[in-house]
Amino acid sequence: MHQKLKDLLNLDRTPRNLLGGTSLALVVKVLGTAFSFLFNILIARLIGSEGAGQFFLVLSVGTISTVLADLGLSQAALRFVAVGSTQQDWPAVKGVYQQSLGLTLAASSILSGLTYIAAPWIAVGLFSKPDLAAPLRWMTLSILPIALLWLHTNLLQGLQKILAFSCLQVPGLGFSALAILGLYAFGSLSGVVRAISAYIAAAIGMMLISLYLWHNSAPQIRGVPGKFQRQTLLQTSIPILWIKIANLWVSKTSTTLILGVLLTSHEVGVYGMVFRTAALTTFFFRNHQ
C-alpha cells in the first residue's frame, strides 16, 4: 500500500506521465468543485440559512486572517522550491522549507490570537451581530492548519506534484470530503458550531496529509543542512501578500463581509448559496467548452 502511494506521488515526474497526471488532476478538480458545493448544500439543509450565513461570515473573517498569516510565503516558497529542485540544490530547498515553516507558524499563532481577542468587537462593532463572537472564536482554530496546508500544498506544486496539489487544495476534493464527514461526525452539535467543527477537522486532517505527502515527496532534504536567506524569502513574499490582500477586495470574501454589515445572517446565507450555485454552473460551462 505504501509503495502504491509513492508510485502515485511520482506520477508527475516523467514527461510520459505528465499528461496522465494532468488529466487526473482535472478530474480531481471537477470532483472537488462538486463536493465543495455539496458541503455548502448540506450546511444550509442541516443548520438553516441563518446558520449558513453565520458560517460564511466567520469563514470570510478566518480567510482574511489566514491570508495575512500566510505572508505570501506559500507562493514564494513554491517559486524557490521549484528552482532548487530543478537544480538539485536540496540544501536550498530545505532552507526555504525551514524558513517558511517557522515564519508561518509564528504569524499564524499571532493572527489566531489577535482574531480571538478581537472577535467580540468584530461581531458587535462591525457586524452588529453579538451571536457571531463565539463562532468566530471557534473559527480561529482553523487559521494555523489552513496556513500550513497552503504552504505544503504549494511546496508540492513546486516539486511538480500536480495530482497531490490538486487533491490538497482548499476547497477541493479531499478537504470537502472530510468536511462532509465532519458534518455527520459532529451531529450532536447544533447550529453554526457544527459546520465550523467540521471545517476545522477537515483543515487539521488535510494539513496532516499534506505534511506526510511533502516529506515522502522530498526525501532528498533529510539529513541535509538547510541554507537559505530569510531576507530573500521575505523580499519575494511580502509583495505577493499585498497582491493577495488586493485580490480579497474583489472576491466573494469582501462581498460577504459587506453584506454581513448591511444584512441579516439569514440574508447572507441565502446570498452565499445563490453565489455558490452560480459559481458551480459557471465552472462546468467553462470546462465543458
Give CA–CA dist 146/284, Å, rounded. Answer: 26
pLDDT < 50 regions, the chain: 4-5, 8, 16
pLDDT at position 259 is: 92
Distance CA 270, CA 66 (A): 25
Write the DSSP symbol of residue 251.
S
Closest C-alpha to 65, from 115, 113, 135, 101: 115
Q: Report which of 67, 198, 190 is spatially closest to residue 131, judged by C-alpha positions.
A: 190
d(CA 13, CA 80): 18
For residue 98, count CB atoms less than 10 angstroms from its CB and return exposed for 0-12, middle for 13-18, buried for 19 or more.
middle
Q: What is the rounded (10 degree) CA torsion for 248, 250, 254, 258?
A: 160
pLDDT tens per residue across span 30-76: 777 788 888 888 988 889 889 999 999 999 999 999 999 999 999 99
| 171 cis-preceded (ω within 30 degrees of 0) | yes
pLDDT value at position 168? 81
Q: Quick one: CA dihedral 257, 261, 265, 269, positive or negative?
A: negative
Longest CA span, the chain = 57
CA 249, 251, 254 angle in degrees (round to 5)?
55
Which CA distances in Å does 82 have to 67, 85, 120, 167, 272? 22, 5, 42, 19, 36
pLDDT of residue 127: 92
pLDDT value of residue 10:
53
Buried b (16+ CB within 10 A) or exposed e, 232-251: ebbebbeebbeebeeebeee
Cβ atoms within 10 Å of 116's Cβ, excluding its own: 17
- H/E/C letters for each residue in 12-67? HCCHHHHHHHHHHHHHHHHHHHHHHHHHHHHHHHHHHHHHHHHHHHHHHHHHHHHH
Per-residue confidence (pLDDT) for residue 176, from 0 to 100: 87
Is 149 in contact with 170 (CB distance < 8 Å)? Answer: yes
Q: Give me the pLDDT at residue 167, please.
A: 76
Select from 11, 57, 76 the least CA-distant residue to 258: 57
